[in-house]
Structure 1
Amino acid sequence: MASAAKNWSGLVTLCLGQEREKRQVSSQRTSLTKSNGAGALGVPSKPIIQYLPSYRMEPRNPLNKERLELTMRTIMNRNYNEDYLFHPRQSYHLAAQVSEEIKNSIKLMNFDRYRYIVLVTVGELLMQGLCSMVNFLWDAEKDGFVTYSIKTPKFIAVCTVFYLYYD
Structure 2
Amino acid sequence: MLKRLQAAAAATQEAELERKAVTPNEKVRSPSIADSSERKKSIMGPRQSTAGPSLIGLMASRRFAKKLSMKALGNRKASSIATVPLPEMEPTYRMEPRVKFNIQDVKDIIENVLHSRLNGMKYSARLTPKIGKSLSDEIKDRVKGLNLDRYKIICVLTIGQMGNQGMMLSSRCTWDDRFDCYATSSFQNQEIFCSATVYGIFRE
TM-score for the superposition, normalised by structure 2: 0.52
Matched, 1:111 2:144: no
Structure 1 residue ranges (4+ consecutive) displaced by more than 6 angstroms after TM superposition = none
Aligned counterparts of 2:92 and 2:167: Cα–Cα separation in 1: 48
CA deviations over 1:57-107 (Å, ceiling 9, x no partner): 2112222222211111111111110x2001122110001001001111111
CA deviations over 1:17-52 (Å, ceiling 9, x no partner): xxxxxxxxxxxxxxxxxxxxxxxxxxxxxxxxxxxx
Q: Is the 8 A contact 2:179 2:202 kept in 1?
A: yes
Structure 2 residue matching 1:88: 3-state secondary structure: coil
Matched, 1:145 2:189: no
Structure 2 residue matching 1:98: 3-state secondary structure: helix
Q: Which runs of 5+ in 1 are unaligned?
A: 1-52
Cα offset for 1:141?
2.0
* AA aligned opposite 1:99: S
Q: Using a 3 Å threshold, how does the CA distance of structure 1 residues 55 and 152 change in structure 2: closer, same or farther?
A: same
Paired residues for 1:85-124 under 5 Å: 85-124=122-161
Q: Using a 3 Å threshold, how does the CA distance of structure 1 residues 154 and 116 change in structure 2: closer, same or farther?
A: same
Structure 2 residue matching 1:130: 3-state secondary structure: coil
Q: 2:97 aligns to what? A: 59
Structure 1 residue matching 2:126: 3-state secondary structure: helix
Paired residues for 1:38-49 under 5 Å: none
Number of matched pairs:
114
Cα offset for 1:54?
5.2
Structure 2 residue matching 1:161: 3-state secondary structure: strand
What percent of counterpart residues are identical?
27
Aligned counterparts of 1:106 and 1:157: Cα–Cα separation in 2: 18
Q: Is the 8 A contact 1:119 1:159 kept in 2?
A: yes
* AA aligned opposite 2:162: L
Cα offset for 1:127?
2.1
Aligned counterparts of 1:146 and 1:98: Cα–Cα separation in 2: 15
Structure 1 residue matching 2:131: 3-state secondary structure: helix
CA deviations over 1:112-145 (Å, ceiling 9, x no partner): 1111111111111112221223222111221121
Q: Which runs of 5+ in 2 are unaligned?
A: 1-90
Paired residues for 1:128-143 under 5 Å: 128-143=165-180
Q: Is the 8 A contact 1:63 1:112 kept in 2?
A: no
**Structure of greater Rg:** 2
Q: 2:202 aligns to what? A: 165
Give the RMSD, CA atoms, in angstroms: 1.6
TM-score for the superposition, normalised by structure 1: 0.63
